[in-house]
Structure 1
Amino acid sequence: MPRYTKIAMLLHWLVALLIIATFFLGLSMVAIPGFSPTKLKYFSWHKWMGVTVLGLAVIRVLWRKANRPPPPLASIPVWQHKIADGMHYLLYFLIFAVPLSGYFYTYAAGVPVVYLGLWQMPAVIAPDPELKATLKTVHYVLTMTMAAAVVAHALAALKHHFIDRDVTLKRMLPL
């Protein structure tokens, strides 16, 4: 059975776990009323995780360019391959778009991003209250789109594994 490389698997699962953790941290941090030390700490962690996802996404794309994925399974209908390809393009787009929209939103709000509390990331835009409101909405919509896409992707993998009983999921599992 042709499989993804160990590095591809590591990057896939690491990015997936970070995205899920960042999503739930984001939900919990915005639910905290006011500005407490805990809320500010969660915002920092959320930003650090987003920057990490973005960095890993760059590595992941470069790895995929240099190491082609295994060929599609012949047992799967062509229409399903096309849907899977579209989903993968959407997920790759969102893996970049969500952290970038959060990054721009943060700077439009006039707040620096200090990665791991050590390195201040470059300010790519000046503070702008109107742009801040727009970017907040953009970040939210992209995040919810990513959440839906991740759930659909996971459900499709589980469908292949438990209903179709093919090796789609096994090709990405480091077993």
Structure 2
Amino acid sequence: MSLKNPVDRWGPVSQLLHWLIALLLLCLAVIGLSLDSLPKSPKYFWVYDLHKSTGLTVLALAVVRLGWRMYAGAPKWIPGLPTWQARLATVTHGLLYALIIAIPLSGWLFDSASGLRPLRWYGLVEMPKLIAPNAGIRELARSAHEWLFWVLALLVVIHAGAALYHHYFEGDATLRRMLPRRRQPLPAETPHDS
């Protein structure tokens, strides 16, 4: 069995990367949106470091996913899909990839420009600073990080909504192509005539 994407659906590696990144993005959104409401205690800094480390993980996974897509290809479009929908899906996917890479980079840039304590990936590996401390870039990166998140949130809603629309209203395989195949039931045994 090949791990590459067959012509009719996404393969297991693509599915794993898709759903893992989606889950981590959801966690990042919850943590990021709750940071301002947390008191500045040691727990706050633990949560903040978790957010940054998970963001770096998403960045790495997004690069792996993009490389895998270039290597493994993509399935063909669903038969009968209107050209405008295929074009819109292509643009949306491109923007999703760009944002999933740009948001962690802007967070890393914000952290670097802040000039605060070292950024350690899950406390294990110290990450290099992208630039020296700089208040102007710090604010620009912070603003970009927040705005890009909201653009990503909007695109995710559109992306998920389109998949659900195709599943429930068009009845096609758009959503099923990104889900693991169901095991086919064994054929029922037929009674023997005596």
TM-score, with normalisation over the residues of structure 2? Answer: 0.87
Q: Identity of counterpart residues, as a percentage? A: 41
User: Is it true that 1:100 corresponds to 2:99 in the alignment?
Assistant: no
The alignment of Structure 1 onto Structure 2 pairs a total of residues equal to: 174
Deviation of 1:154 after TM superposition, in Å, equals: 0.7
- SS, match of residue 117 in structure 1: coil
Residue matched to 2:149 = 143
Larger radius of gyration: 2
- SS, match of residue 163 in structure 1: helix
Match for residue 8 of structure 2 among 2, 12, 21 = 2
Residue matched to 2:83 = 78
User: Is it true that 1:116 corresponds to 2:122 in the alignment?
Assistant: yes
Structure 2, unaligned runs of 5 or more:
1-6, 182-194
Match for residue 165 of structure 1 among 167, 171, 190 = 171
Take 2:144 and 2:29, find their aligned partners in 1: how far apart are those partners?
15
Match for residue 132 of structure 2 among 113, 118, 126 = 126
Residue matched to 2:70 = 65
Deviation of 1:129 after TM superposition, in Å, equals: 1.3
Take 1:100 and 1:110, find their aligned partners in 2: how far apart are those partners?
16
Residue matched to 2:186 = none
Q: Which runs of 4+ in 1 moved over 3 A?
A: none
Deviation of 1:36 after TM superposition, in Å, equals: 1.3
Take 2:166 and 2:28, find their aligned partners in 1: how far apart are those partners?
27
- Which amino acid letter does the alignment assign opposite residue 90 of structure 2? D
Deviation of 1:50 after TM superposition, in Å, equals: 0.4
User: Is it true that 1:90 corresponds to 2:86 in the alignment?
Assistant: no
Deviation of 1:31 after TM superposition, in Å, equals: 2.0
Deviation of 1:8 after TM superposition, in Å, equals: 0.4
Higher relative contact order (CA 8 A, sep 6+): 1
Take 1:139 and 1:169, find their aligned partners in 2: how far apart are those partners?
29
- Which amino acid letter does the alignment assign opposite residue 165 of structure 1? G
Residue matched to 1:174 = 180
Offset from partner CA, 1:101-146 (integer Å, 9 cap, x none):
0000011111321001011101110111121111110111011111
Structure 1, unaligned runs of 5 or more:
none
Take 1:118 and 1:67, find their aligned partners in 2: how far apart are those partners?
32
- Which amino acid letter does the alignment assign opposite residue 143 of structure 1? F
Offset from partner CA, 1:25-71 (integer Å, 9 cap, x none):
100112224x2122111110100110000110111011101101110
For the aligned residue pairs, the C-alpha RMSD in angstroms reads 1.1
Deviation of 1:75 after TM superposition, in Å, equals: 1.7
